[in-house]
Amino acid sequence: MLPPERQRRLLTQPAERLLFFLLVAVCGTAVHAAAGKVTLARKYRPGQSTVYVTKVSTNSKINSNPPALKNFFPPLPPTLRLNQQCTVTVSSVHPDGAADVQQRFDKFEVQTELGSLPESVQDTMTQAQREVSQQMVGHTLTVHYDHDGRLVDFDGADDLFRDIDGPVREPFLQMLRLSLEQMGGDSLYPDHRVKVGEEWTRNLGAQPAKNYPFQVEGKSTLHYSGKTRYHGVKAAIVDYHFENTLTPAATGLRKGGALPQLEAMGMRLAVQITGNGQGRILVALNDGRVLQNHSTMHQTLSATMKGKEGFILPDEQLPRLEIQSDTNMEVDGNEP
């Protein structure tokens, strides 16, 4: 800071006066720009609890050529809805920043539209929905996240779903995993401080896991849109969109029961799932926890039947199955 006498002399000399004001403006702009950047990082605190209300709605349709090909696969409910409330508590934090989280289900409701399915299947699914809803309430999962909020795995679901038939069990498990990912902030956080308007990308690649038998490739593009307050908590607004490709592990397909039948007929199954989606997420500025996440996504499962070596057939004549699904998810969190 210049002495008062020197400042007065500067202000009486035009050239030096202009230089003085330019220096003040530049310094002020630099300070303002630095202050405008934020750090978005997950910082787990043992004992911290958040209550999340989650609503998921998925609409699906299945097409096949020839139509009878559908019979090799479990019947698919056209609509699946999940309403749940859970209390998430950080139980322990590891030296590398990863955390173990206890998720207790306070409310759990599953609804499916069954009118287009055979009556025997409707009865099975209705019973399964009732059992799952009853068993989930009061149940606690142990969820493992890495230091970036990425879902690693979760324990405690096997006992709940062990006695439920595969056609119902797998959609429930995948929907459960999706909600756990969204509450954790999966593939969200940048590796540097960001300013308003800045974009960054995160890799979505992952290897097959016990509760998710898929090889995943893809990326997410995120955009810091500004600040807001959510239930009194200062938060960053992050808009995002993503694209991914999932390839089921062979063991996961065999567990579903369709692959052994096809292999016995001399066929092999090539499966790929492509997806894209977008959404807006609110992230607490003090510790990076997810406060809100509203998103939509679309997935296409394409399965092509191919013969063993020596079996030649034009691509357009190969038996094909395609499942289209659209999912809308709303996750809202608050302190208990």
Mean pLDDT of the chain: 79
Whole-structure pTM over 0.85, yes or no? no
Spatial separation of the C-alpha atoms in residues 54 and 48, rounded to whole Å? 19
State the first-to-last Cα distance of the chain, in angstroms, to the nearest integer.
50
Four-point Cα dihedral 255, 216, 245, 296, nearest 10: 90
CB neighbour burial string for 56-89, b if at least 16 within 10 angstroms, e if fewer: bbbebebebeeeebeebbbbbbbebbbebbbebb
DSSP state of 122: H
What pLDDT does residue 175 have? Answer: 73
- Tokens 């063993």 belong to 308
SS3 12: coil
pLDDT, one tens digit per residue, over 233-260 is: 999 999 999 999 988 776 555 444 455 6
In the chain, pLDDT over 70 holds for what percent of residues?
Answer: 72
AA identity, residue 48: Q
Among the listed residues 180, 289, 181, 293, the one whose alpha carbon sits nearest the alpha carbon of residue 233 = 289
Spatial separation of the C-alpha atoms in residues 151 and 187, rounded to whole Å? 9
Spatial separation of the C-alpha atoms in residues 225 and 198, rounded to whole Å? 8
Spatial separation of the C-alpha atoms in residues 162 and 177, rounded to whole Å? 16
Residues 6+ apart with CB under 8 A from 28: none
DSSP string, 52-64: EEEEEEEEEEEEE
Q: φ, ψ for residue 8 (rounded to 5)?
A: -65, -40
Q: Are 39 and 318 in contact (CB under 8 A)?
A: no
Give the sign of the dihedral formed by CA 155, CA 157, CA 162, CA 165: negative
Q: What number of other Cβ atoms are within 10 A of residue 162's Cβ?
A: 8
Q: Are 273 and 214 in contact (CB under 8 A)?
A: yes
pLDDT, one tens digit per residue, over 263-300 is: 666 666 778 889 999 999 999 999 999 999 999 999 99
What pLDDT does residue 91 have? Answer: 96
Could you report the average pLDDT of every consecutive run of 10 residues in the chain (336 residues)? 51 48 42 66 94 92 80 72 93 95 92 70 74 84 91 82 60 76 86 95 82 82 96 96 84 52 65 92 95 95 70 65 91 90
Q: What number of other Cβ atoms are within 10 A of residue 254's Cβ?
A: 13
Among the listed residues 107, 112, 86, the one whose alpha carbon sits nearest the alpha carbon of residue 180 = 86
Q: Are 303 and 45 in contact (CB under 8 A)?
A: no
AA identity, residue 190: P
| 113: Cα within 13 Å, side-chain hemisphere | 10
Spatial separation of the C-alpha atoms in residues 126 and 168, rounded to whole Å? 10
SS3 158: helix
